[in-house]
Chain A
Amino acid sequence: MALLNRLKDLRGERDLTQAALADLVGVSRKTINTVENGVFVPSTILALKLARALGCTVEAIFSLEEE
């Protein structure tokens, strides 16, 4: 079951660059890039930090692909 994410869209809606979001959550820009591209599945802690930085729920960012 694949993990989908709307991180790029949500970040764009808030006019945040990858570097700015990375700064907010305390990770490298590369990590944000890999999460957006679905290459890297973040930990629960990072997912919660991303949600807090974007002012939304974790479920608004990540979801499971329907089979």
Chain B
Amino acid sequence: MTEVERADRMSRGGVYIKALAAAVLLLNVWLQYGDAEYSAAGPRGGSWLVLIGLWVVVLWTGGGFMLSRRLRSLLNDELSLQNRSRALAFGFYAALALAMLVYVANWYVPVATGDAMKIVSAGALSAALLCYAWLEWRWR
């Protein structure tokens, strides 16, 4: 198998992993909504922040730090870079929209600070991950 074929296969695998990660993040927010344990500044809340941070790093850099330089450059070629920047922009606007939504919703229903942060961070990250997965998958 050539490196181009290997990169092709890894790129396809990455699409499914990112889509799955987005689904898990959203499911987690939905299932844990209102549970103070998950939002408190304890091990669970801290782990959540680390998880979000790691996914942002993967999305920002393309990941694959252990791969060879050639494979990494194939996975991060100019089309993927363009897709990534579009996905990050989409995530940014999703964060803005979700933050405004939470702000308005809080006039009518009480939303804990931790829950609000989880909704905005997970929602925006999931939007970015799904956007990237879609852009990469559509012309595979």
| Interface set of A (CB-CB < 8 Å, partner B) | 19, 22-23, 26-31, 33-34, 37, 39-40, 42-43, 46
Would you call A26 and B79 a contact (CB within 8 A)? Answer: no
Would you call A30 and B139 a contact (CB within 8 A)? Answer: yes
Would you call A26 and B74 a contact (CB within 8 A)? Answer: yes
Assembly CA distance A39 to B5 (angstroms)? 21
Given A19-B8, A39-B139, the answer on whether A28 and B2 have CB atoms closer than 8 Å is: no
Would you call B39 an interface residue if the criterion is a C-beta within 8 Å of the partner chain's C-beta atoms? no
Q: How many contacts A-B (CB < 8 Å)?
A: 50
Partner pick for A19 among B4, B79, B136, B140, CB 8 A cutoff: B4
Tell me the interface secondary structure of chain B in the complex: helix
- Residues in A with CB closer than 8 Å to B73 are 26
- Residues in B with CB closer than 8 Å to A40 are 79, 82, 139
- Residues in B with CB closer than 8 Å to A43 are 78
Assembly CA distance A37 to B79 (angstroms)? 13
For residue A41, give the distance in angstroms from its CB to the closest CB of chain B.
10
Partner pick for A46 among B4, B8, B78, CB 8 A cutoff: B78
Assembly CA distance A23 to B1 (angstroms)? 12
Would you call B139 and A28 a contact (CB within 8 A)? Answer: no
